[in-house]
Amino acid sequence: MPIDPSDTYILLGQDGSSRQLPGGDAFWSQPEAELGALGRHWMLLEFECSSDWPTWEMHPAGDEFIYLLSGDVTLHLDDKGSVTTFALTGRGATIVPRGVWHTAKVHAPSRMLFATLGEGTQHRPA
């Protein structure tokens, strides 16, 4: 059965299982405790980004795979005060190492797919 990862998020269990959850606002409006429990699983999520990310984020529990499906973004990675930037245009991917703060500047509407272990994710203003 087809899945639209912008509407349905996928959790991948360490035992090889998968679970579908309603995405978007239905996912992010859950209580913090529930989101924390879900963050112990690998999550596959797709987002459309039409403007710069309003925050930096950091994932302490695992690396994050970011796949640009279409668009044009510049990723900013802050590793202990040393900021590096690089562009992804059209299509491309990168891995953000665990513990590295990151944000994106969006130059054209972009679709991005993320694979992340969300437990303990932190945010700070961009």
Domain around 13:
8-116
CATH number at residue 43: 2.60.120.10
For residue 29, with 0-12 CB atoms within 10 Å meaning exposed, 13-18 middle and 19 or more buried, which class applies?
exposed
- Angle (CA) 53-2-113 rounded to 5° is 20
* Rounded Cα gap, residues 52 and 70, in angstroms: 15
Mean pLDDT by 10 residues, the chain (126 residues): 89 90 89 84 93 97 97 97 96 97 98 93 94
d(CA 82, CA 65): 20
Q: What is the pTM of this model?
A: 0.89
pLDDT of the residue at 40: 86
β-bridge partners, 8: 22
Q: Residue 50: what are its φ and ψ, rounded to 5°?
A: -110, -5
Q: What is the pLDDT of residue 35?
A: 82
pLDDT attached to residue 89: 96
| Domains of the chain: total | 1
What is the per-residue pLDDT for 45?
Answer: 92
Q: Judge whether 123 lies within some domain.
A: no
Query: Residue 65 domain-assigned?
Result: yes
Query: So what's the pLDDT on residue 95?
Result: 97
User: 55 in a domain, yes or no?
Assistant: yes
